[in-house]
Amino acid sequence: MKKLPDLEAWAIFAKVAESGSFSRAANDLALSQATVSKAISRLEARMRTTLFHRTSRRISTTQTGLAALEYASRILEAGEALEEELAEQSSSLRGSIRLALPMSFGLAFVAPRLPLFLARHPDVSLDIEFNDELVDLVASRFDVALRISALADSSLLARRLCTVRILLVGSPAYFEHHGRPRHPQDLAGHRALVYAHTRGGPSWRFRGPQGQEFTQVMASPLRMNNAEGLNPALHAGLGLALQPEFLVRDDLLAGRLESAMDDWQVDPIALHIITPPGRLRPRRVQALMSFFATQIGQEPWALGVQHE
């Protein structure tokens, strides 16, 4: 009769490989180091192979161990998710969610809504990192993220919430002094305030009313890795910028900024909820994702909202 897989040992193996240490894995799993060591030895004897190279100072995963790691990690994640799911079914949602948010969008539109989510789910805790860079969800152990960009990593599980228009904007004083461009070729004499993570950087690409395309390379006195940081320079009349509508809507309504070349469109950006590949989502994470979808879908700048 075929033996059942040693699921506990494989889960321990995954934790050892992840932490790079028998002692750290033992501490994470609340086991003795001897128990962890015996589990690995048991696997190696059963598989008739070596899973770790061991020295007095460190361990490293062998090629065989690396080949087995993806499957072992799934066993560990599935077991953790199962226990979390059953625990949550027997009570209110509970546990921690590690969340990555873009800086300006997260501060302006997510942070003000988090008290409502936490009030609804008092046993859930949130660990949040604000960062405009594309953080590695797997390496940094994030459960979920909001991302406003093209998704280069196709292995991530993504759900598009909405699209956001990109507007060419400047201050009234800027347009009065430098003129209002009506065609992309008119931008040649203007200065650009550039968001560093924009695709194309100072090369601004537009699509006209008949579908024609035009790219203008802009002179830029200011470049920032945070789009909201460009707004003071915009207000001061130092240049033009391509800004997402959610960042400038209030300024446009108040007359502090104005848009130009409205018949020439810049490709919109999409707001996605993303989660790591191959990871089961606990109910608390699903609840947070649904909360974001509902809340963001109410914003006036959210186009093409994706409902559940």
Q: Where are the domains of the chain?
A: 7-89, 93-308
Distance CA 277, CA 161 (A): 18
CATH class, range 93-308: alpha beta
Distances (CA, A) of 300 to 108, 113, 148, 307: 14, 16, 17, 15
Distance CA 290, CA 277 (A): 19
Distances (CA, A) of 195 to 24, 25, 133, 150, 256: 41, 42, 12, 15, 20
* Short-list 217, 227, 242, 165, CA closest to 197: 227
**What does the pLDDT profile of the chain (308 residues) look like in tens digits?**
567 888 888 888 888 888 888 888 888 888 888 888 898 899 888 888 898 888 777 888 889 888 888 888 888 887 877 777 666 554 568 889 999 999 889 999 999 999 999 999 999 999 999 988 877 888 888 999 998 876 655 556 778 888 899 999 999 999 999 999 999 999 998 999 998 877 777 889 999 988 889 999 888 889 998 888 999 999 999 999 999 999 999 999 999 999 999 999 999 988 999 888 765 678 889 899 999 989 988 889 888 776 55
Q: Residue 235 corresponds to which tokens in the numbers above? A: 């207000």
pTM: 0.67
Distance CA 284, CA 88 (A): 8
CATH class, range 7-89: mainly alpha
Three-class SS state of 270: strand
CB 113 within 8 A of CB 119: no
* Short-list 305, 303, 223, 293, CA closest to 265: 303
CB 160 within 8 A of CB 289: no
